[in-house]
Amino acid sequence: MASLGKISIPHAPSSDLGLLRRRFDRRMQTRIGYNHRIASVLTNNASSVKQSLSERVIEEEAKVLVGTYARAPIVLLSGKGCKLFDPEGKEYLDCASGIAVNALGHGDPDWLQAVTEQASVLAHTSNVYYTIPQIDLAKRLVASSFADRVFFCNSGTEANEAAIKFSRKFQRFTNPEDKEVATGFIAFSNSFHGRTLGALALTSKEQYRTPFEPVMPGVTFVEYGNVQAATDLISSGKIAAVFVEPIQGEGGIYSATKEFLQSLRSACDASGSLLVFDEVQCGLGRTGKLWAYEAFGVTPDIMTVAKPLAGGLPIGAVLVTEKVAGTINYGDHGSTFAGNPLVCNAAIAVLDKVSKPSFLSSVSSKGQYFRDSLVKKLGGNSHVKEVRGEGLIIGVELDVAANSFVDACRDSGLLILTAGKGNVVRIVPPLIISEEEIEQAVEIMSQNLTVLE
Ligand SMILES: Cc1ncc(COP(=O)(O)O)c(C=O)c1O
């Protein structure tokens, strides 16, 4: 087998660096050896031009993965803080956080310690048995929020599936004599709640839903912010629950108003519908509050959380009041992997760090600095319509498609995302980003504005 040569890992933890490097090199040799053999045959047959490791990985991905992702053409090998590195050593400033996931950036020492210590003791047991990190994490989530109890799962969409089931069960349990118990749901324009058939039914983008219909029936979409339309429908008595993102992420970084969420709360209270906040993207410190709902003076009956909770390991959580939890019985829902000790120990490290008041206030002030700098450096461009957001969930709305701009920024070493109808630049950096890195990000964006012409 031809050798891959030495792969250096930029910014590996300094302790045991040599050992780590040797182990990593061995693993990469094994992992990419097969690809490398094919790639070298292809290369030898085609020409003497040598492919980079990134090119080989991208070529092989197209042969073995189901084509669900239109990926950016870069391979990421390692990360430290807000920096990511490709195999050829190119550095990227991460303002995407793996879609609002890596709240503590890459390789946070406390997170790493929590993962490695727990992995060396116990990673998984199933929910047939009790484990300590799961209970510890649930206690922290309950103590830090409106909730009385927690259900764990593995992703945002699963958290919303659980919330759908809990809402239906709540309605059946509390209205046992009712022959036409409320089973309907309200979701809003620009909503995104996930890709499984229940959560997908609550997701507004038609092109995500139509190839898979019939999805879960009974969902009505109402314009985000339209108090009258929402309260009229809730008062019909047919609505089991209303699903709403206090700040919409995927939909284009739109924030609800206090009046809107407070009206939903009152209408749900009057009709017996449940109010579900999806904080999968906007929750856990991203807005500068631990939970986004804190800024609105409203609490939900159910809240779904996922992305940043375990700092990059898969986790979802459904936070509920006692009123809801009391209607759920053994066997009503479950998941093999959910809440295992490994992910829960990682999540404890994340939650403990993010929930510190000084950490949260730094997110608010850095978010303000980021938005102000964007307005200053980008605001003069005629294609930039608005800079909006809260804390470090920021949207820059353009009057043209944002993808060529996002691509150009990536070529210049900055990772950002699109949102909305493709015309919004979404900036969701690790919450630990520094002011210097914010300045660097804004500078790269400002230099790439020319591609909008
Ligand atoms: C608000 C919101 N809800 C749910 C989801 C689905 O989460 P997951 O991709 O973990 O299933 C997302 C993902 O982007 C989201 O932004």
For residue 391, the domain's CATH number is 3.90.1150.10
**Which candidate, 41, 46, 70, places its Cα nearest to that of 58?**
70
How many other CB atoms are found less than 10 A from the CB of residue 30? 10
**Which candidate, 324, 323, 319, 298, places its Cα nearest to that of 309?**
319
Please give the single-letter amino acid code of residue 90. Answer: K
The predicted pLDDT at position 191 comes to 98
Instruction: Specify whether 167 is located in the same domain as 206.
Output: yes
Q: Which residues contact 91 (CB under 8 A, 6 or more apart)?
A: 10, 83, 84, 85, 413
Three-state DSSP state, 213: coil
Of 354, 376, 398, the last residue of a domain is 354
Beta strands per DSSP E along 50-122? 78-80, 83-85, 91-94
pLDDT tens, residue by residue, 42-57: 444 444 468 999 999 9
Instruction: Specify whether 362 is located in the same domain as 350.
Output: no
Q: Is residue 444 part of a domain?
A: yes
The predicted pLDDT at position 7 comes to 58
Buried b / exposed e over 360-370, threshold 16 CB at 10 Å, is bebbbebbeeb
Closest approach atom of ligand 1 to CA 155:
10
Please list the residues that pair with 219 across neighbouring strands.
Answer: 185
279 lines ligand 1 (CB under 6 A): no
- Ligand 1 centroid to Cα of residue 33, in Å, is 34
Instruction: Specify whether 298 is located in the same domain as 405.
Output: no
Instruction: Specify whether 374 is located in the same domain as 335.
Output: no
The predicted pLDDT at position 3 comes to 36
- Ligand 1 centroid to Cα of residue 23, in Å, is 34
Q: How many structural domains compose the chain? A: 2
Instruction: Specify whether 279 is located in the same domain as 427.
Output: no
Tokens found for residue 367 = 């978010």
Pocket probe for ligand 1: among 253, 284, 293, 307, the residue whose CB has the most ligand atoms within 8 Å is 307
How many Å apart are CA 249 and CA 246, to the nearest integer? 9
* Strands of 91-94's sheet in order across: 78-80, 83-85, 91-94, 414-415
Sites in the chain below the pLDDT cut of 50: 1-5, 17, 32-48
Is the Cα torsion angle 12, 18, 21, 23 positive or negative in sign? negative
194 lines ligand 1 (CB under 6 A): yes
The predicted pLDDT at position 50 comes to 84
Please list the residues that pair with 276 across neighbouring strands.
Answer: 243, 302
Q: From atom 7 of ligand 1, which residue's Cα is the shortest distance away?
A: 156
Pocket probe for ligand 1: among 69, 157, 197, 244, the residue whose CB has the most ligand atoms within 8 Å is 157
The predicted pLDDT at position 38 comes to 39
Q: Is residue 69 part of a domain?
A: no
Of 354, 377, 400, the last residue of a domain is 354
The predicted pLDDT at position 30 comes to 53
- Ligand 1 centroid to Cα of residue 28, in Å, is 31
Write out the residue range of the structural domain in which residue 243 sits.
109-354
Of 336, 354, 372, the last residue of a domain is 354
Whether the CB-CB separation of 433 and 365 falls below 8 Å is answered with no
